[in-house]
Chains A and B, each alone.
Chain A
Amino acid sequence: MTTPAIQVRELSKHYLISHTNDRPTSLGEKVMRSATNPFKRIKRVLSGDTAGATDATEVFKALDRVSFDIQHGEVVGLLGRNGAGKSTTLRLLSRITEPTHGSVKITGRVGSLLEVGTGFHPELTGRENIFLNGAILGMRKHEITERFDEIVAFSEVEKFLDTPVKRYSSGMYLRLAFAVAAHVDPDILLVDEVLAVGDAEFQKKCLSKMRDASHSGRTVLFVSHNMAAVENLCSRAIWIDQGKLREDGPVKDVIANYLRSYATGIGEGSDLSNITEREGTGDVRFTDIQVVDKDGEPGGVIRSGDRIKIQLQYVVNQAVNEPHFGIDFFTGMGTLLAGPSTWASGHTTPNLQPGRGMVELEIEMLNLLPGRYYLSLWASSVGKQDYDLLDRCTVLEVEGADFYGSGRGIDGRWGVMFFPCSWKMETR
């Protein structure tokens, strides 16, 4: 048994969050509290308890007794939903913050790249930031000087080296940050969600750099929502759910289980009746949305190219004449992709009396690439008045599939949609 590169034992991070409903009930109480609070606060501060300076607090366990070992040369993906504790884990491993309980033992030099623009100073030029950032990541001055040209070439920002980075685009910022981190030559590389930003070309470069690192015996711990990248790069995955370690094993198994759990959260019928952010007269109200997969099962994994049904339950509060229903599909960037509706399809809808009903949209082939899509729902008399409008109230998670049967899959990096199509080639 060799010494692991990263040894994590019972690692926990707790945050104190204040209760918002603990408001003073009277003006007198308010005055009393503000009069006594400064002293309480000052007392707290002097005892070093700066994490929670308000009176009523609750412990939030961002990470709860997580243990794992990562061997030298392993490339491990860290999976989990937003807020599950992935980033907290990386923050603890890179010493940005300290654990509440537990321990970490790291053998080797660590290079970390957390989110965009790791530790650049906006006022300094790209050149100055390369040196500052390099020093922070543990490089001596002569080492940075040696690799300076390489870093600049990788980052593709030669022209703007003497411009303060505050004038950089987010893409340039990221490229430079990754370039420095990648050239630190760390034994252990911690990477958080870099592939979410930057163009396809640069993402490719980052992935290949990370693959090089793993080939030369480096250890990589990699957080991403891009399952294709995780599957491609990692041999093992660790799934963190609500601050706890849920599964640790071969990448394919963990991803499969992770995706299965994810789909149930969204597709299995979500209650819409409690949503208050809605427009319209309220004569008709949507109460429930359900996505049914190709096997007719609600809540299954939806994949590119699937035949799916989206069922909307509604309640009619006030009799309406000839209402129409529609669903708008948006990308995460807010681009409207499609807006199928009963009106556009030429349906004649009946007059509705108070009561309940259901309307179903069947999509023969969902030609969306893997990614998250947002659905808006509407019920309207079209042109006269809207009865119910729910802006992007539901997420449709589409997973990749080997649509063309090529064994290569289709990937969300190449757009948002694909065509059912074929190629012909002729040589002369």
Chain B
Amino acid sequence: MGHAQAMPTDSSDTAPGGMTEEEIAKLPVLSIDSEKRGLSLGLSELWAYRDVLYYLTHRDLLVRYKQTLIGASWAIIQPVMTMVIFTLFFGKLAKIPSDGVPYPIFSFAALVPWSFFADGVLRGSQATTMYAEMIKKVYFPRLAMPLAPLLARLIDMALAFAVLLCMMLYYDINPGWHVLWLPPLVILAFVTSLGTTLWLAALNVQFRDVRMAAPFMIQTWLFITPIAYPSSMLDAKWQVVYAMNPMAGVVEGFRWALLGTDTQPGAMILVSTAVAVLLLVSGAYYFRKVERTFADVV
């Protein structure tokens, strides 16, 4: 061990290297002020930290399927198995109508966005506690935490969607021009998931009740969403009220866009979109409001 070099020999060599005023003027300036904290969502900062978002998303995919036998196949197996069970019990046994398309693809078209929502919200709501150690040690835009698991679930959804396409080929279903509605519907699903996740993730920092409540909430939500059954079972006048659950609009929209069911979900999707946007905006502001104390509380 070279202890000799470890000797603190002199203390006079701390002369600061000078920096000119021009050099200083070029440096980024950061202001933290308890008085002036506007309504900014910090989106430009989130963009500046997009690499962090990328690595957290990447991390989420990695960790989720690390030490599993079949890895990412789980993204497909989960909705497929649910479809099989739904088909057996709701389709065959309970003989629930399926808007004129075969029951398996009827339920699977709904399960694809639903799995995205359910998995995304469950994982996303845990993000703030999952990253507790990082919250306490470093700064990065806190919005990246709930956002990353949702972005990772988009990849999962793409895998499940490939299965859906195969089923459409098998059942010889041609979606026609309606398919153009798919991207906005995916965005609607994302907005709904993000809004819900932001609320739960922010609450979870202080109230671990969320960990208990979230699975139960998702389970209940599954039943008030037309996944195992069509919303056309409801009286037409109730459908708009029903669509206040934004996932109802998403699911019916998916079926209409891909399977050509003759339910016209226009009104439903409008209501769902309004609720989803409200959920996202309120969730984002609530998250931003409480994130300032995350490190003190978590």
* Cβ-based interface call for B63 (8 A): yes
B292: CB under 8 A from chain A? yes
A136 sits at the interface (CB 8 A):
yes
Stretch at the interface among B135-143, B183-191, B222-230, B234-242: B135-143
Contact A73 B18, beta carbon cutoff 8 Å: yes
**Which residues 35-70 of B have a CB within 8 angstroms of A?**
35, 37, 49, 51-52, 54-56, 58-59, 62-63, 66
A132: Cβ under 8 A from any B Cβ: yes
User: Is the pair A50, B293 in contact by a Cβ cutoff of 8 Å?
Assistant: yes
Bound Cα distance A118, B136 (Å): 9
The closest CB in chain A to the CB of B27 belongs to: A108
Q: Mark B115-152, 1 if CB is under 8 A from A, else 0.
A: 00000000000000001011111111000000000000
Interface set, chain A 72-101, CB cutoff 8 A to B: 72-75, 91-92, 94-101
* Residue pair A3, B24 in contact (C-beta under 8 Å): yes
Query: Do B52 and A132 have beta carbons less than 8 Å apart?
Result: yes
B89 CB–A CB distance under 8 Å? no
Binds B, one of A241-249, A362-370, A405-413: A405-413
Closest to A115 in B: B137
A112 to B137, CA, bound (A): 9
Binary CB contact string for chain B from 193 to 207 against chain A (1 if under 8 A, 0 otherwise): 000000000010111
A100 to B292, CA, bound (A): 10
User: Given the complex of chains A and B, what is the CA–CA distance between A3 and B28 in angstroms?
Assistant: 12
Assess the B289–A98 pair: CB atoms within 8 A: no
- With A73-B19, A408-B9 already in contact, the answer to whether A96 and B59 are too (CB < 8 A) is no
B172 to chain A, nearest CB (A): 44
| Min CB–CB distance A310 → chain B (angstroms) | 30
A121 and B30 in contact (CB under 8 A), knowing A229-B8, A408-B7? no
Q: Which of A48, A102, A218 has the most CB of B within 10 A?
A: A48
A115 CB → nearest B CB, Å: 7
How far is B136's CA from A29's CA once the two chains are assembled, in angstroms?
A: 37
* Stretch binding the partner chain, chosen from A230-238, A291-299, A300-308, A325-333: A230-238
- B34: contacting residue among A53, A71, A91, A99, CB under 8 A: A99
Contact A132 B59 (CB under 8 A): yes
Contact A228 B34 (CB under 8 A): no
* A203 CB, min distance to chain B CBs, angstroms: 8
- Distance in Å: Cβ of B47 to nearest Cβ of chain A: 13
Q: Are A48 and B289 touching (Cβ within 8 A)? A: yes
Q: How many A-B residue pairs have CB under 8 A?
A: 187
Q: Is B88 in the interface zone, CB < 8 Å from A?
A: no
Q: CA separation between A2 and B20, bound complex, in Å? A: 9
Which of A123-131, A151-159, A353-361 has 4 or more CB atoms under 8 Å from chain B? A123-131
Per the bound structure, the CA–CA distance linking A211 and B18 in Å amounts to 15
B220 CB within 8 Å of chain A: no
B14-A211 in contact (CB<8A): yes
Q: Is B262 an interface residue (CB 8 A)?
A: no
C-alpha spacing A235/B13, complex, angstroms: 10
Known: A50-B293, A73-B19. A119 touches B133 (CB 8 A): yes
Contact with A along B16-33 (1 / 0, CB 8 A): 111101001101111111
Residue of B nearest to A411 (CB): B8
A107 at the interface (CB under 8 A from B): yes
Q: Does A215 contact B (CB under 8 A)?
A: yes
**Nearest CB of B to A118, in Å:** 5
Asked whether B3 lies within 8 Å of A114 as measured between CB atoms, the reply is no
In the bound complex, how far is the Cα of B136 from the Cα of A120, in angstroms? 11
* Complex interface: chain B residues within 8 A of A106 (CB): 29-32
A124 — nearest CB in chain B belongs to which residue?
B59
A177 to B16, CA, bound (A): 25
Interface residues of B in 158-173 (CB under 8 A from A): none
> How many residues of B sit at the interface, in one of the four size bands?
35 or more
B16 touches which of A53, A122, A214 (Cβ 8 Å): A214
- When the two chains form the complex, which single residue of A100, A187, A233 contacts B27, counting CB atoms closer than 8 Å? A187
Interface residue? A414 (CB, 8 A): yes
Contact call A233/B14, Cβ cutoff below 8 A: yes
Interface residue? B286 (CB, 8 A): yes
- Number of residues from A at the complex interface, CB < 8 A: 77
A103 beta carbon closer than 8 Å to chain B: yes
User: A228 to B63, Cβ gap below 8 A?
Assistant: no
Q: Are B29 and A204 neighbours in the complex by a CB distance under 8 Å?
A: no
B286 to chain A: which residues have CB within 8 Å? 48
Assess the A45–B138 pair: CB atoms within 8 A. Answer: no
B45 → A minimal CB distance (Å): 10
Highest count of chain B CB atoms <10 Å: which of A96, A122, A204: A96
Q: How far is the CA of A124 from the CA of B55 in the complex (A)?
A: 11
A231 touches B11 (CB 8 A): yes
Known contacts: A50-B205, A92-B32, A98-B292. The answer to whether A204 contacts B5 by CB under 8 A is yes
Contacts of B9 in A (CB 8 A): 408
Question: Is B21 touching A3 in the complex (CB atoms < 8 A)?
Answer: yes
Report if A59 contacts B (CB, 8 A): no
Which residue from chain B places its CB closest to the CB of A53 in the assembled complex? B206
Q: Which of B29, B137, B203, B296 has a CB less than 8 Å from the CB of A117? A: B137
* Distance A137 CA – B49 CA, assembled complex (angstroms): 9
A204–B51 touching, CB < 8 Å: no
B243 shortest CB reach to chain A, Å: 25
B267 beta carbon closer than 8 Å to chain A: no
Q: Does chain B have a CB within 8 A of A31?
A: no
Interface centre among B17, B138, B207 (most CB of A within 10 A): B138
Q: Is B274 an interface residue (CB 8 A)?
A: no
* 8 Å CB interface, A389-423 against B: 408-409, 411, 413-414
Contact yes or no, A96 B14, CB < 8 A: no
Find chain B residues with CB under 8 A from A218 CB.
17
Check B1 for interface membership: any CB of A closer than 8 A.
yes
Query: How distant is the Cα of A301 from the Cα of B72 in the complex, in angstroms?
Result: 64
Cβ distance B111 to chain A, nearest Cβ, rounded Å? 28
Instruction: Evaluate contact between B289 and A107: CB separation under 8 angstroms.
Output: no
Q: In the complex, are the beta carbons of A409 and B34 less than 8 A apart? A: no
Q: Is A147 an interface residue (CB 8 A)?
A: no
**CB distance A45 to B134 under 8 Å?**
no
Alpha-carbon distance between A229 and B8 when the two chains are bound, in angstroms: 8
Name the contact of A136 in the complex, choosing from B52, B62, B63 (C-beta under 8 A).
B52
Contact residue among B11, B32, B52, B56 (Cβ-Cβ distance under 8 Å from A99)? B32
- In the complex, B217 has a CB within 8 A of chain A: no
Sample (23) of A-B pairs whose CB atoms are under 8 Å apart: A3-B24, A45-B203, A45-B206, A48-B289, A95-B32, A98-B292, A103-B31, A105-B29, A106-B30, A108-B27, A114-B137, A114-B138, A117-B137, A118-B137, A121-B63, A122-B133, A123-B59, A123-B62, A135-B52, A135-B55, A136-B138, A200-B3, A204-B6
8 closest Cβ pairs, A-B complex: A73-B16, A217-B17, A119-B138, A95-B139, A135-B51, A98-B292, A103-B33, A97-B295
